[in-house]
């Protein structure tokens, strides 16, 4: 990150700590500086927005605007495209999380927006990922029946933005290696279970 953004990231990092992680803003875990051949480089480490062990079956980037807010043809060609506001409306998506969870979510959003207002930042969107529990169970059964050779029992595969897939091995005692039926908030930091009990919202 550029050096002139250090103060900005410092304020965000302080905010995450003060809120004990109760924020929908990116959770910055640390800010560091390294020196390479007399050159100084600054970077931040942040928590992944989505769960590390649950498959995200659909995702949206919502800004509360309908101006030029739909996924491009190039985006739609991806394995897991990021849909936008107009796609959300056209697909008639409705997310049910219950009154209590809704109030907590709005309180967090209000606090986050207050901070962004003080920092004079307008570009703010809500990244929504949906994990379909029923579909996940079906995929798990299919995976057990057709596990590829050359991969360990705990290996996992992810797709990066380029569309390529890469595989890594998960230690048996890692949270990533466990399969949870319910939301585990120590692992699923941003998770909100839906009231329909068939899918989880991240």
For residue range 171-182, list pLDDT tens digits in order.
Answer: 444 444 445 556
Same domain, 57 and 142: yes
In the chain, the percentage of residues whose pLDDT exceeds 90 is 20
Q: What CA–CA distance (Å, rounded) separates 120 from 13?
A: 17
- Token look-up 């410092």 returns 10
Q: What is the pLDDT of residue 62?
A: 92
Q: What is the pLDDT of residue 180?
A: 52
Burial of 27 (0-12, 13-18, 19+ CB in 10 A): buried
Same domain, 39 and 75: no
First-to-last alpha carbon distance for the chain, in angstroms, is 27
Domain of 71 in residue numbering reads as 50-201
Same domain, 195 and 181: yes
For residue range 55-87, list pLDDT tens digits in order.
Answer: 888 999 999 889 999 999 999 999 999 999 999
Same domain, 14 and 95: no
Same domain, 43 and 54: no
Pairwise pLDDT comparison (167 vs 45), residue with the higher score: 45
For residue range 5-23, list pLDDT tens digits in order.
Answer: 888 888 888 888 888 888 8
Boundary residue ending a domain (11, 26, 47): 47
Same domain, 84 and 176: yes
Structure tokens at 102: 């809704």
Q: What CA–CA distance (Å, rounded) separates 52 from 189?
A: 10
Cα dihedral value 22, 98, 129, 75, nearest 10 = -130
For residue range 100-110, list pLDDT tens digits in order.
Answer: 989 998 999 89
- Closest listed residue to residue 46, CA positions, set 22, 27, 31, 32: 27
Backbone angles phi, psi at 70, to 5 degrees: -150, 150
Q: What is the pLDDT of residue 200?
A: 46
Please report, for the domain that includes residue 148, its CATH number: 3.30.810.10
Same domain, 25 and 78: no
Same domain, 35 and 111: no
Same domain, 36 and 73: no
Alpha helices by DSSP H, listed for 36-93, are: 73-76, 85-90
Alpha-carbon radius of gyration of the chain: 19
> Do 187 and 180 touch, CB atoms closer than 8 A?
yes
Domain count, the chain: 2
Q: What is the pLDDT of residue 185?
A: 66
Same domain, 88 and 16: no
Local structure of residue 147 (DSSP, 8 states): P
Same domain, 122 and 194: yes
20: number of CA atoms within 13 Å, CB side? 1
Instruction: Note if the pTM is more than 0.85.
Output: no
Same domain, 39 and 63: no
Q: What is the pLDDT of residue 27?
A: 78
């Amino acid at each position: 990150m550029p050096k002139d953004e250090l103060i900005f990231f410092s304020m965000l990092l302080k905010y995450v700590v003060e809120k004990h992680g109760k924020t929908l803003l990116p959770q910055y875990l640390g800010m560091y500086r390294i020196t390479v051949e007399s050159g100084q480089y600054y970077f931040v480490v942040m928590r992944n927005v989505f769960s590390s062990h649950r498959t995200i079956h659909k995702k949206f980037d919502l800004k509360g605007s309908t101006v030029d807010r739909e996924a491009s043809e190039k985006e739609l060609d991806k394995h897991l495209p990021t849909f936008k506001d107009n796609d959300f409306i056209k697909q008639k998506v409705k997310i049910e999380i219950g009154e209590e969870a809704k109030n907590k979510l709005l309180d967090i959003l209000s606090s986050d927006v207050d901070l962004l207002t003080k920092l004079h930042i307008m570009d703010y969107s809500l990244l929504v990922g949906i994990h379909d529990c029923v579909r996940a169970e079906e995929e798990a059964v299919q995976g057990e029946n057709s596990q590829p050779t050359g991969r360990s029992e705990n290996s996992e595969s992810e797709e990066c933005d380029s569309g390529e897939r890469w595989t890594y091995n998960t230690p048996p005692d890692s949270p990533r290696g466990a399969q949870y039926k319910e939301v585990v908030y120590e692992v699923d930091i941003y998770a909100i279970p839906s009231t329909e009990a068939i899918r989880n919202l991240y």
